[in-house]
Amino acid sequence: MPVYQFIIFLFILIPLSLPLYAGDGSAVRLWLLETGRGTTREAFTIEGGSLIQTYHLIYGAVLVQHGRDAFLFDSGLGRQIDEQFDAEMPWWAAPLFRYEKGVSVFDQLKADSTLPRPNRIYLSHSHWDHASGLPDFPDLEVWVAREERNFILHSGPPRVFKSQTGLASTRWRFIPFEQKDFHGFHSSYDLYGDSSVVWVWMGGHTPGSVGMYVRAENGRRYFFPGDVVWNYDQITQNHEKAWLSRMLADEDPEQVRRMIDVMHQWLQQDPALQIVPAHDQRIWQKVKSDE
Ligand SMILES: [Zn+2]
């Protein structure tokens, strides 16, 4: 990366790395860690979207701290993303998935000793832009929905890369979902038993796609649906991804449709809830400026 780009990224990174919450050691705190950016046409992200309008993407991870515990939700674009992409992304798909590499989660943690050290990683799903950082953390367990592990074993490029999720050393763990309703999601798991962090099974985008609900100490509540939606407007307008994107990216578009409906209803009942799709740069910036 040229020096000037690195400086620009640092400029973006420093404010984005500030903790969202201050408080005592048992409070839930979040950091949105940006690891890269990209652009596409809005029409590619939402049904009826504009072909002219640019949609700005974030590639990132969320660092969550609960008391003395800390974990990552997704791993962002890792240190080896260029090598992974060059080796595994098929030539015909590469132009669709171009990215600007930022600073990896590993390097952000190395550069900032005030950030808590994560002791495990949860994946919203196993696509390459979410699992790229796994090889940077070979000692950390990787937690997924059970269905996602089967998907990983039977999938491949352009969605899933062996260089990320095919490492023999990875210790896979499964989120122990229970048949407990959570705001319209049928399977959920209350991670700490205090309803501050709750996993929900979503499926659809991949068979084991999961969402993460977080109630922060200051009363703000967030829901991270991974890539079940790409564009926040899909939730407010109750719209699917564009047809081509559904065909290319979603394993089960009908299930994705149901999940959009659940989020749409939830947001109508609870307008203060902040839903944060994994790639929507506007929402990432809004979450920052709200604090
Ligand atoms: Zn993604």
pLDDT along the chain (291 residues), means of 10: 47 44 62 94 82 91 96 98 98 92 98 97 98 98 98 96 97 98 98 96 97 90 96 92 84 96 97 97 88 63
106 in helix, strand or coil? helix
Residue 26 Cα, ligand 1 centroid: separation in angstroms?
Answer: 31
Residue 130 Cα, ligand 1 centroid: separation in angstroms?
Answer: 6
Residue 129 Cα, ligand 1 centroid: separation in angstroms?
Answer: 5
pTM of the model: 0.89
The CATH code that applies to domain 3-290 is 3.60.15.10
Tell which residue, 228, 288, 238, has the closest CA to residue 261. Answer: 238
| Residues 33/16, Cβ–Cβ less than 8 Å | yes
Residue 215 Cα, ligand 1 centroid: separation in angstroms?
Answer: 23
pLDDT of residue 24: 40
Residue 276 Cα, ligand 1 centroid: separation in angstroms?
Answer: 13
Residue 279 Cα, ligand 1 centroid: separation in angstroms?
Answer: 7
Q: Exposed/middle/buried for 189, CB within 10 Å: 0-12, 13-18, 19+?
A: middle
Residue 249 Cα, ligand 1 centroid: separation in angstroms?
Answer: 9
Taking CA atoms, 14 is separated from 81, 155, 212, in Å, by 22, 36, 25
Measure the CA–CA gap between 176 and 219, rounded to whole angstroms.
Answer: 26
Residue 121 Cα, ligand 1 centroid: separation in angstroms?
Answer: 16
Q: Looking at residue 178, what DSSP letter applies? A: B
Domain extent listing, the chain: 3-290
Residue 253 Cα, ligand 1 centroid: separation in angstroms?
Answer: 16
Residue 241 Cα, ligand 1 centroid: separation in angstroms?
Answer: 13
Residue 227 Cα, ligand 1 centroid: separation in angstroms?
Answer: 5
Residue 214 Cα, ligand 1 centroid: separation in angstroms?
Answer: 20
